[in-house]
Amino acid sequence: QKEVEQDPGPLSVPEGAIVSLNCTYSNSAFQYFMWYRQYSRKGPELLMYTYSSGNKEDGRFTAQVDKSSKYISLFIRDSQPSDSATYLCAMRWSGNTPLVFGKGTRLSVIA
């Protein structure tokens, strides 16, 4: 079993839909959780960062962490065609430990 599991999709939604992206993990030592967005032919860029359990909101994006279930989510409200990309979850044990990534979910938002 991989440390971080993420459904690869592809996920296709109409413009304006609410998108839910999820990851599960096996190592309870993970404390820091991130979501990256990767456009085609580009490197990943950090979207959201959360520490421990709870919610964090930034514009149309909300990140949720449930450490008891070892489950993290990213919600995108009012999705736009420009949100079409691969979304990668990532996590780490502490500040100077490597990031462990999920395989990414490919999202297409259809106008």
Applying CB under 8 A, which of residues 18, 29, 45, 58 lies at the interface with another protein?
45
3-class DSSP state of 50: strand
CB of 30 to another protein, least distance (A): 11
| Binding flag, residue 28, another protein (CB under 8 A) | no
> Within the chain, how many helices (H) and strands (E) appear?
0, 11
- What distance in Å separates the CA atoms of residue 33 and residue 35, rounded to the nearest whole number? 7
Applying CB under 8 A, which of residues 43, 59, 68, 82 lies at the interface with another protein?
43
Site track for another protein across 56-85, x = CB under 8 A? ------------------------------
